[in-house]
Structure 1
């Protein structure tokens, strides 16, 4: 039994660190420009954000070179704000948008930046280790509708199911 655990534990620990098939991460990524607060414009529904609105992610550099992550959102059923802290590190080359994030202990999951406003770092598209984990982020709580539609169309072309996106609006952020 212990030998099986030794074989499968690495697969469990590292199985969530990958880029979905048919998707590439951005190149020429500059972490310093990505740091700061991002607003969640849209996402595919997932278990860890169920019933949340007005979700933000704030990234800052930690003294050890990793990235501190502070996610904040309003739990609509409980009527309260909640925060979660995490740590992110580059998977390999820091000029590529492939990171891994840990919300607890040694367990990491992928954070892949697959499209990015390379000029202003004003918007980003992010996926996890599988295509059912997808986000559109912006530096502002609202996004130009034409830009939003073009990003959704691009996501569809990459094989993401965008039919049931959870879409936030600037009114969600006014609860603060």
Structure 2
């Protein structure tokens, strides 16, 4: 019951800048495909969020990082850190991800029990320096990079991948580092 109240409260607090809990950023009638040749070992490590679709839990966040590690039970550990504009840590959330298919993960955070979200890696460049992540329901999407600065050609390719998978690029926001 507490989780339901929390989710309803989040939806009610959402603004245009933060996105609504149930906002959809892609045409869900459009096909979406995860990366067919996905190497989870190469995906491990820290990623910097360079662009995202607005979601309430990241409202006001800058300098966001996501770090993935391999656990003894075969699941991936997930640690997301959100920062304030001055660089101080605003929030962190940890959880796990289960690989359920090529480029397809189910992510669960301890503070949000009973919810396993789709997290699809739609694309990475050959060297796993840049990644595009989305979800079939279109409620989230990110462009991630191994460093805070991203080369213009990889950013454009990442944007093209989002658009190809039905995402509305006009709602994509760049994230300050």
TM range (shorter): 0.7 to 0.9
Shift of residue 147, structure 1, vs aligned partner: 2.1
Q: Output the CA distance in 1 between the equivalents of 2:92 and 2:175.
A: 18
1:141-169 Cα deviation digits (max 9, x unpaired): 11112321232133223210111322124
Q: 1:113 Cα shift?
A: 0.5
Q: Does structure 1 retain, via aligned residues, the 8 Å contact 2:48–2:147?
A: yes
RMSD over aligned Cα atoms: 2.0
Which residue of the partner structure matches residue 104 of structure 2? 98
Report the Cα distance in structure 1 between the residues aligned to 2:174 and 2:104, rounded to whole angstroms: 24
In structure 1, what is the equivalent of residue 115 of structure 2? 107
Runs of 4+ in 1 over 3 A off after TM superposition: none
SS of the residue 1:111 aligns to: strand
Distance apart, 1:80 and its partner CA: 4.1
Runs of 5+ in structure 2 lacking a partner? 1-27
Aligned twin of 1:82: 91
Report the counterpart of residue 66 of structure 1 in structure 2: 75
Distance, in Å, in 1 between the alignment partners of 2:115 and 2:157 is 34
Q: TM-score, structure 2 length as denominator?
A: 0.76
Aligned counterparts, 1:10-49, within 5 A: 21-49=30-58
SS at match of 1:81: strand
Which one has the largest radius of gyration?
Answer: 1
Unpaired segments ≥5 residues, structure 1: 1-19
1:3 match: none
